[in-house]
Amino acid sequence: MLRFLVLALFAALSLWPQPFALKDGDSVVFYGDSITDQRLYTTFAETYTVTRFPALRVRFVHSGWGGDRVSGGGGGSVDTRLRRDVLAYNPTVITVMLGMNDGGYRPFDDQIFRVYSAGYEHIVRSLKGALPSARITVIEPSPYDDVTRAPAFEGGYNAVLVRYGRYLRDLAVRERLDVADLNSPVVAMLEKAKARDAKTAERLIPDRVHPGSAGHLIMAEALLKSWKAPAIVSAVEIEDGAVKRSENTTVSGLDGLVWTQLDRALPMPVDPKDPVIALAVASSDFTEALNQQTLRVRGLAGDYTLKIDSEAVGDFSAAQLADGINLAVMMTPMTRQAADVHALVLKHNNVHFFRWRPLQTVLEGDGFNTGPAEAALDALEDQIVAAKRMAAQPRPRRYELVKR
């Protein structure tokens, strides 16, 4: 009986919502090859964090380098890369995504794999030895697109990357690491997208290696889900002139069909007018999994225009309002606020990139005193980060349902 109760307790705990993995004061470094160097899935993850948890102070550093393997690459040996581009920032959270280049773009080769596995384990040992308290997320490599175009050889190159991903899952168990699968969710999205619109689907990973923004959005979703990211932005239910539910928000001053709402988070800014992004979102569970800002109003009859801050957001029937609408997929003042935050995310990362790559790594060892310039750029980045956090802070919004 006791064993049964213990198992039941563990089962119940597994169903309990887990807190988001990132904490106040965390410093996150994204380490990897050119796919990380694109600064897309990484900046999407940063934007989600700052808009969904505006009270958290989390630092993000993007340290991808095109062409990297587990041994390093154009930015130096792996030990140089780790010292200069990871450990120097004293991170509390590190993600590692390598493998696309390591597999050699050829059928699985056991010798090549042994080099990869040994090199990856060297990276893990180095990180754990230098930063024993850091939380490491190993990322199963994003896919080579063997879906929208025929594989170049039997089985395709993505099958090699999947095999590398299985190894990383085993390594994560052995080394007590976190793991994120950025391969299978993107492949599933590609398959659905191809069925919907084969021509546009080819643009999701244009060169079969480097995803565009739409592919990176789904990759970011996979990483965030591994970090227990919540779906809810806010949720409000109003019935018969009373607030029946308000989650992650405060509703005040309800007077008929007018009220003030102060959400504690912002939606993810997704551009529905971009056909490639729209296809990726429609072919995945991105909206359901990460972007729910719902409003439900019952007890109405007829048709209504929803206004937020005096701006018409959309026209809805009483039935639609009773079923619930998702404001996160609409152009609202909150969506535009989130887009402003994302623009600042990109700006601070561009400043950091310039300080790091053209300045620090190109001129290091040449005897030039780059310290003052680096310090000035660090100060500028700090200003933009502060502006980013300020831009993400909640603002009260006036809601009004006007009968048409």
Q: How far apart are CA 150 and CA 338, in angstroms?
A: 38
- Residue 183 CA from chain centroid, whole number: 14
Q: Residue 217 in contact with residue 242, Cβ under 8 Å? A: no
Model pLDDT, residue 279: 98
Class of domain 23-226: alpha beta
Whole-angstrom Cα Rg for the chain: 23
CB neighbourhood size of 368 (10 A): 11
Model pLDDT, residue 17: 60
Q: Which residues of 21-49 are buried (b: 16+ CB within 10 A; e: fewer)?
A: bbeeebbbbbbbbbbbbbbbbbbbbbbbb
Per-residue pLDDT tens, the chain, 404 aa: give them. 545 444 444 443 344 467 999 999 999 999 999 999 999 999 999 999 999 999 999 999 999 999 999 999 999 999 999 999 999 999 999 999 999 999 999 999 999 999 999 999 999 999 999 999 999 999 999 999 999 999 999 999 999 999 999 999 999 999 999 999 999 999 999 999 999 999 999 999 999 999 999 999 999 999 999 999 999 999 999 999 899 999 999 999 999 999 999 999 999 999 889 999 999 999 999 999 999 999 999 999 999 999 999 999 999 999 999 999 999 999 999 999 999 999 999 999 999 999 999 899 988 778 888 899 999 999 999 999 999 999 999 999 999 999 99
pTM metric for this prediction: 0.94
CB neighbourhood size of 15 (10 A): 7
Dihedral (C-alpha) 46, 48, 54, 55: value to the nearest 10 degrees?
-70
Model pLDDT, residue 15: 47
The pair of three-digit structure tokens given for residue 231, joined into one six-digit string: 């779906």
Q: Residue 73 in contact with residue 117, Cβ under 8 Å? A: no
Q: Which residues of 193-224 are buried (b: 16+ CB within 10 A; e: fewer)?
A: bbeebeebbbbbbeebbbbbbbbbbbbbbbbb
The pair of three-digit structure tokens given for residue 102, joined into one six-digit string: 């390591």
Parse the chain into domains and list their residue ranges.
23-226, 233-404
Instruction: Decide the pairing of beta strands 258-263 and 397-403.
Output: antiparallel
Model pLDDT, residue 3: 52
Q: Which residue has the tokens 């700090």?
A: 382
Q: 3-state class of 142 per DSSP?
A: coil
